[in-house]
Chains A and B, each alone.
Chain A
Amino acid sequence: MGDKKTVDARGMACPGPIAKLTRAYREAKNGDVIEILATDQGFIPDIKAWIESTGNKLIELKQDGGVIRAVIEVTAKK
């Protein structure tokens, strides 16, 4: 079982939530879970594109009020 880390990128427009996710992903290992909170609407297509191109696993993607919550499982590190 991996570790779980939450990345709070709410209220962050530029350079955006992917910047914070990149930092958290560097520290993570396969099996870890990263939860990202964001308010930038562009984050929904971005995280889908990121998952598709990096080959990690999207466990959950939900929007509640103005807050987007994405949960990913790290699976694509060597």
Chain B
Amino acid sequence: MNGEKVLVVGGGAGGLLVSNLLVGDGREVTLVTNNPEHYFQPANLFIAFKGESPESYKRSVESLLDPKVRLILDKLSKLDLGNRTALTERGKRLEYDYVIVAAGARMDYNSLPGMKENFEMFGDYYSSPEAAVKVWNTVSRMKNGKLIIGVPDLIIKCPPAPHKGVFLAAEFFKKEKRDVTVELLYPSPHIYTEAELAKTIESKMKSFSNIEYRTSFLIDSVDKDRKVVIGMNGEEIKYDALVLIPFHKGPEIDVNPAEARDDDGFIKVDKRKLNITSYDDAFAIGDCNNAPTSKTGVAAHLGAFVVWKRINGRNAEYSGRTNCPLITDDEAIFVISDYDHKPVGQRFSRLKRLMEDLFVAMYFPSLRYPRKFEPIFDVYFNATEPNILGEKGW
């Protein structure tokens, strides 16, 4: 088969899906990842604020791959787009007809003074399940005072995750009857980046007596000795515990040519075709690319299907669709948007929360058997397209 050698970089949702899809066509697929484990990232919230076990949300990469995919547990260090070759850290040289980079975003703790020390002390629910356990160790022991969740930057995975953390933490403290206030520090002028959705989220926050929030608060630094977050205007806010959402940068791969990456290291792609700018045999999907949409699993999922179809000669395009769940303990909304539509209006409902739980239950099998699960996702995505939900919202 022409174009039979496929190299996939990364063992996240995008990398697993695209590998399983392409190997099913009879192609020779090699997946390179340095992490033998795949974990369901949104579950970090359940670990951090409900004390759930990380083990329930982890699987080996091997168990999620079609056995015909060749798995190399190593870090990809170099990618030469012109010569169609790649090099791993341990010196393995790989050639390809197609490459799909699905290496995710890299967490950066050095762009803000005090962030690294704060991460070491309190953890976060972005970096890893282990870092989320650290959050739980603090949250579960807090008897009173203030927990701050701070958002220094908005180019982050799952844009509603800071809010989810606030809701779940507040719910925990309320149930436990502890005198702890949860405060969200947010940089945009509304409590969510889109104004209409912000109103919905704001009124939900107001229904909690233990949630506070500040908008247009631009975090400059953290002083761990005085336990204060310092704003860019010099204002200081005191905390007892602080969870900061880390900065997101592109993956640590030396890509040749260097112009294939933007200033933050994200890989430049055509936002609809997802091919790496000016290469028709190289793609980047999910959090590692610079497409002007949210960093979210749904972009990796839909991107994997687009790339699979394009490699098979079909004219599929990625619409920029997002579907980010914003959950409280018992309700949810979904941030649904695409390149041509701002997020549609939403009402909190228990049914949407149930849908999120159903998704969690089908997550791992849907990665392993994407063809079987595609019809279910198709029904959902088609029925909830922004232009179908429209003004009426959902």
Chain A contacts to B: CB under 8 angstroms: 9, 11-16, 18-20, 22-23, 25-26, 40, 42, 45-46, 49-50, 52-55, 76-78
Contacts and interface: CB of A to CB of B under 8 A. Distances in A.
A18 B215 CA distance: 12
Given A11-B271, A19-B154, A26-B218, A78 B232 contact: yes
B19 interface: no
A40 to B, nearest CB: 7
A23 B337 contact: no
A14 B154 contact: no
Nearest to B112: A26
B322 interface: yes
A55 B233 contact: yes
20 contacts: A11-B292, A13-B320, A14-B193, A14-B335, A14-B343, A15-B294, A16-B188, A18-B193, A26-B153, A42-B195, A45-B195, A46-B195, A49-B189, A49-B190, A52-B189, A54-B233, A78-B220, A78-B232, A78-B233, A78-B234
Contacts of B322: 14
A27 to B, nearest CB: 10
A20 B342 CA distance: 16
Residue from B111, B152, B154, B341 whose CB has the most chain A CB atoms within 10 Å: B154
A16 B193 contact: yes
A75 to B, nearest CB: 10
Contacts of B124: none
A76 B61 CA distance: 48
A46 B190 contact: yes
Contacts of A76: 232-233
B187 interface: yes
Interface in B331-374: 335, 337-343
B110 interface: no
A12 B320 CA distance: 10
* B interface, over-half SS: loop
A57 B294 CA distance: 29
B159 A18 contact: no
Contacts of A54: 216, 218, 233
Interface string B190-225: 100111000000000000000000011010100000
Interface residues of B, number: 35
A11 B338 CA distance: 10
Nearest to A40: B342
B216 A16 contact: no
A18 B342 CA distance: 14
A45 B198 CA distance: 14
B87 to A, nearest CB: 31
Residue from B271, B322, B342 whose CB has the most chain A CB atoms within 10 Å: B342
Nearest to A45: B195
Contact of B294 (A14, A22, A23): A14
Given A13-B339, A14-B343, A78-B234, 5 more contacts: A13-B338, A13-B340, A15-B193, A22-B153, A26-B111
Contacts of A11: 271, 292, 339
A15 B195 CA distance: 11
A23 B153 contact: yes
Contacts of B193: 14-16, 18-19
Contacts of B343: 13-14
Given A50-B216, A76-B232, A19 B190 contact: no
B293 interface: yes
B194 A16 contact: yes
B190 A14 contact: no
Contacts of B94: none
Contacts of A18: 154, 187-189, 193
A15 B340 CA distance: 13
A25 B220 CA distance: 11
B388 interface: no
B194 A14 contact: yes
Contacts of A9: 292
Contacts of A46: 188-190, 195
Contact of B342 (A13, A23, A52): A13
Contact of A50 (B154, B188, B220, B232): B188
A15 to B, nearest CB: 5
Nearest to A55: B233
Contact of A53 (B155, B189, B293): B189
A53 to B, nearest CB: 4
